[in-house]
Chains A and B, each alone.
Chain A
Amino acid sequence: MAEEKKKPRTPPDPNSAKYKLNQIAQKAYTDVQEAKARGEKVGWISSNFPVEIPETLGLYVCYPENQAAGIAARGGGVRMCEAAESEGYSNDICAYARVSLAYARLGSAPEQDMPLPDYVLCCNNICNCMIKWYENLAKELNIPMIMIDIPFNPDDEVSDAELAYVKGQFLAAIEQLEEITGRKWTEERFREVMANSCRTSRAWLEATAMARYTPSPFNGFDLLNHMAVMVTARGKPEAADAMETLLKEYQANHEKGESTFRAEEKYRIMFEGIACWPWLRVTSTGMKSRGINMVTTIYADAFGFIYDDFDGMIRAYCKVPNAINLEVARDKRIKLCKDNSVEGLLVHVNRSCKLWSGFMSEMSRQIGRECDIPVVSFDGDQADARNFSEAQYDTRVQGLTEIMEARKEAAV
């Protein structure tokens, strides 16, 4: 951010959560780069693929979704999208996919490089678009694809049939990866990874739950940055350590009455949808300048996986936010709103994400009614800067603020 650059730089405290988390996020890329340089086979992996599998096998993988978000946040989204469009990809396709497919062809991007993959790991528990995207990566790069199909669950519970189906695929994926990479799966190593993953997740979920205090000890936009580590490194002990540090910092903030939200917290809202990475500063300023803290969002918690064994792990991956029906998805959000004293819901109608936006109108109406909070939506995109209008965003956030303000006045 421009105004922050002018401030004298204080050296970052290496014991702070922020420092540790940034180190891990950066190391995620350099580790893979080094592995690739050593001649090891490296992979690309979708964000909600069971990271326990590559982690247990000791594989180096990187995350195209994080990369696309990074490229978009640093201003390269439109350039990459246009590169994909020139190959025949429709501009209606998910912008992460467009950025990633363009990168696969170009092989570099000044905003965020990562080595090209020797195999791809795909899991469609977040969307079926993921299948198409990874099919194209595998086809264009002529590399193997490991696909774990976790279908959208129309029911409230994970059925035994689904569990058996997904488990069969987990086992097949492990076998396929062992063949490709020559690594071996061991039970002890899996138990370590599971322990790390659960430890990281517990600290993360506890940290995000600190938003229940008023004022919240943190700015919700922090979560969007820290989430990168939850996505990529939750199975590593250093991630667990960093998340526990974060939790301690938030606890300390709460005790001291401090917060990373650098403004008076006048309003507390839930934000729905993926961040508008190309417009992160605009979206964040639009809230902060009005004293709005985004205290909770479903997709931060999405990366906290807690379970006791292999089957439990499978069930956890079957229950990620975009794989569940409207009622279960709605109730999770209602709980977040109530637990965190949310006063309004701001919905990002994300042009890139059909699944996330496709039944959001009905679901957010139901949440608004149940929680008695105003619901306001704006149009945007996770990576294509062209699909966002600053004036529209500003008017709608202001409208939301005025409703919350009037309700506060009426309550007094």
Chain B
Amino acid sequence: MTVQELLNTFHAAASDPAGQFHKYLDAGEKVVLTAPVYTPEEIIHAMGLVPFGAWGGDLALNKSKEYFPAFICAIMQSILELGIAGAYAGASAIVIPSLCDSLKCLGQNWKYAVKDIPFIPMTYPQNRANTVGKAFAKAGYERVITDLEKAAGAVFSEDALARSIAVYNAHNAAMRKADAAIAAHPEITASQRSDVFKSAWFMKKEEHTALVNALLEALEKTDGDAGRGTLPVMTSGILCDSPSLLQIFDELGLRIVADDVAAESRQYRTDAPEAGFAPLDALAEKFSRMDNCSVLYDVDKKRADLIAETAKARGAKGVVLVLTKFCDPEEFDYPIIKKSCAAAGVPLTLIEADRQMVNYEQARTLLEAFRDVL
């Protein structure tokens, strides 16, 4: 396939999660929803189930308001809204971690709002890089396994998990390469880049890896269309997948050469070790090594420096922080990121985004001004 054909394939999957969801169900597969920000997808995969990202959608909130007050972020609200509206009907379960306060509430509300899709909690340790933390992460995984056995009648084995870990590590590697390759290919727009990342949530990882590798191969054969008058920037935040927002990036010639977005690169930074650990321990080890994320405890706030360093390394002229309205983990990090970027001489701009926003005129004005400053 050509680069364009591959990009079209990513776009088709990214823009039609419902189609992907039903494609798997119709094929007789069992689908398990995975809520933000991290879930042990490898376990779900190892049990022969299809992990399927549930990060909400850009839709009006109505039924979710029966459960959530207005000041809970639109990601949680829209996940619940879709659940109540029956968009996930047919899913075997939903795994919701308790990594932020709103996620805790999502899990509790889910039990009453969407009774036919079982809620499986995943409790991670925040003090994760030590023996007791790893043991607790492992206990959390074991609980997910037991619940999945009940909810989906699926069977777990360590051997299968070892294979799934290899599948996920291969996907991580492909995504890291794709991130770097796209940075070197300015002809790939911000919208197309988003499709590559977003489609990963709605496909089996082995399928997605194959497509990403094909893209990498196809890109290698084409020269990076250097320049083209675009301005390289880096994005950060929880989500940056709104088509209308990305369209503004494209129209203004802002090219995303790196990201620190939770739904994008943050997922792929850390692999589970494939040697020296029993598979479940390897997964706990992976979590213990994860860092640089607003929902993972880090007293050093290394994330702030990582953003500035990555922006510089990738040649980004500035950082656009897309702040999900009412996301307090991100809101707390912002002033620190601001300082780090200022110290490193990396311009930073903040855009508040809501999943209900159809109209991004304010964002356009901000981005336009940002571009002009850069």
Say whether B109 contacts A161, CB under 8 Å: no
Tell me if B338 counts as interface (CB < 8 A to partner A). yes
Contact A349–B69 (Cβ < 8 Å): yes
Does A22 make an interface contact (CB < 8 A)?
A: no
Q: Provide the bound-state CA to CA distance between A349 and B297, in Å.
A: 27
A387 to chain B, nearest CB (A): 9
| Inter-subunit contact B107/A154 (CB<8 Å) | yes
Which A residues from 55 to 107 make CB contacts under 8 A with B? 87-90, 92-94, 97
Query: Does the CB pair A359–B105 fall under 8 Å?
Result: yes
Stretch at the interface among B96-104, B231-239, B250-258, B361-369: B96-104
Partner among B100, B126, B132, B294 whose Cβ is within 8 Å of the Cβ of A168? B132
Q: A151-B125, A354-B105 are in contact. Are A136 and B111 (CB under 8 A)?
A: no
Are A92 and B108 touching (Cβ within 8 A)? no
- Listed stretches B82-90, B171-179, B329-337; interface member: B329-337
B202 CB to nearest A CB, Å: 26
Within 8 Å by CB of A132, from B67, B131, B333, lies B333
A358 and B72 contact, CB distance less than 8 A: yes
Number of interface residues of A (CB under 8 A): 50
Instruction: Say which residue of A93, A135, A361 sits within 8 Å of B297 (CB atoms).
Output: A135
Binds A, one of B15-23, B133-141, B275-283: B133-141
| Contact among B69, B100, B101, B132 with A361 in the assembled complex (CB-CB below 8 Å) | B69
The answer to whether the Cβ of B220 comes within 8 Å of any Cβ in the partner chain is no
**Candidates B67, B104, B111; contact of A355 at CB < 8 Å:** B104
Q: Cα distance A412–B224 when bound, in Å? A: 84
CB distance B105 to A355 under 8 Å?
yes
Question: Of B69, B106, B132, B328, which is within 8 A of A94 by CB?
Answer: B328
Flag if B71 contacts A139 (CB, 8 Å): no
Contact with B along A117-152 (1 / 0, CB 8 A): 000000010011101110110110000110111011
- Does A214 lie at the interface of the complex (its beta carbon under 8 Å from any beta carbon of B)? no
A199 at the interface (CB under 8 A from B): no
The residue of chain B having its C-beta at the shortest distance from the C-beta of A366 within the complex is B112
Of all chain B residues, which has the CB nearest A161?
B139
Interface centre among A92, A127, A145, A349 (most CB of B within 10 A): A92
Cβ of A162 within 8 Å of any chain B Cβ, yes or no, is yes
A357 in the interface (beta carbon within 8 A): yes
Chain B interface category by residue count: 35 or more
User: Among A87, A89, A90, A165, which residue has its beta carbon within 8 angstroms of that of B125?
Assistant: A165
The docked-state distance in angstroms from the alpha carbon of A136 to that of B340 is: 13
Q: Which residue of B lies closest to A97 (CB)?
A: B332
A360 closest partner in B (C-beta) = B69
Residues of B120-147 at the interface with A, using a CB-CB cut-off of 8 Å, are 121, 123-127, 130-133, 135-136, 139-140
Interface: A26 (CB within 8 A): no
B67 touching A89, Cβ below 8 Å: no
Task: Say yes or no for B185: interface residue by CB 8 A criterion.
Answer: no
**Distance to closest chain B CB from A318 (angstroms):** 12
Q: A136-B332, A359-B109 are in contact. Are A149 and B101 (CB under 8 A)?
A: no
A363 to B68, CA, bound (A): 11
Tell me, rounded to whole Å, the shortest Cβ–Cβ distance linking B232 to chain A: 24
B102 partner, pick from A161, A351, A354, A363, beta carbons under 8 A: A354
Return A280 CB to nearest CB of chain B, in Å.
22
Question: How does the 8 Å CB contact mask read for A317-334 relative to B, with 1 for contact and 0 for none?
Answer: 000000001100000000
Could you tell me the distance in whole angstroms from the C-beta of A337 to the nearest C-beta in chain B? 20
Q: Does A389 contact B (CB under 8 A)?
A: no
Contacts A92-B325, A325-B108, A359-B67: A165 and B336 contacting too (C-beta < 8 A)? no
* Complex contact B125–A136 (CB within 8 A): no
Q: Which of B28-36, B52-60, B298-306 sits within the interface? A: B298-306
Q: Identify the closest chain A residue to B138 (Cβ).
A: A161
In Å, the complex CA distance between A242 and B63 comes to 49
Tell me if A263 is interfacial: C-beta within 8 Å of chain B. Answer: no
CB-based contact A161/B136 at 8 Å: yes
A145 touches B299 (CB 8 A): yes
Cα-based distance from A147 to B295 in the complex (angstroms):
15
Chain B residues near A355 (CB-CB < 8 A): 101-102, 104-105
CB pair A135 B332 closer than 8 Å: yes
Chain A stretch 339-381: residues in CB contact (< 8 A) with chain B = 349, 351, 354-355, 357-363
Q: Which residues of B contact A165 (CB under 8 A)?
A: 125, 132-133, 135-136, 139
CB of A115, distance to nearest CB on chain B (Å)? 21
| Contact A87-B335, Cβ < 8 Å, known A139-B299, A147-B299 | yes
Inter-chain contacts of A127 with B (CB < 8 A): 101
Contact B123 A169 (CB under 8 A): no
Residue pair A92, B331 in contact (C-beta under 8 Å): yes
B326 close to A (CB within 8 Å): yes
Pick the most buried of A94, A124, A138, A354: most chain B CB atoms within 10 A of its CB.
A354
Shortest Cβ distance from B350 into A: residue = A88
Q: Which residue of A lies closest to B140 (CB)?
A: A161
B98 touching A152 by the CB < 8 A rule? yes
**Residues in chain A near residue B300, CB distance under 8 A:** 139
A159 interface hit (Cβ, 8 Å)? yes
B67:A93 contact, CB within 8 angstroms: no
B66 sits at the interface (CB 8 A)? yes
Give A49 Cβ to nearest chain B Cβ, in Å: 14
Q: Is the CB of A151 within 8 A of B123?
A: yes
Q: Chain B residue with minimal CB distance to A169?
A: B127
Instruction: Please measure, in the bound complex, the distance between the C-alpha atom of A318 and the C-alpha atom of B107, giving whole angstroms.
Output: 18
Contacting pair A358 B331 (CB below 8 A): no
B98 cross-chain contacts in A, Cβ below 8 A: 128, 151-152, 154
Q: How far is the CB of A161 from chain B (nearest CB, A)?
A: 3
| A164 on the B face (CB < 8 A) | yes
Any chain B CB within 8 A of the CB of A282? no
Q: Which residues of B contact A (CB under 8 A)?
A: 66-69, 71-72, 98-102, 104-109, 111-113, 121, 123-127, 130-133, 135-136, 139-140, 294-295, 297-301, 323, 325-326, 328-329, 331-336, 338
- Closest CB pairs A-B (n = 4): A358-B105, A168-B132, A161-B139, A154-B121
Q: Can you name 13 A-B pairs with beta carbons within 8 Å? A: A92-B71, A131-B297, A136-B335, A139-B299, A144-B299, A147-B127, A151-B123, A154-B107, A165-B125, A168-B133, A358-B108, A361-B67, A363-B108
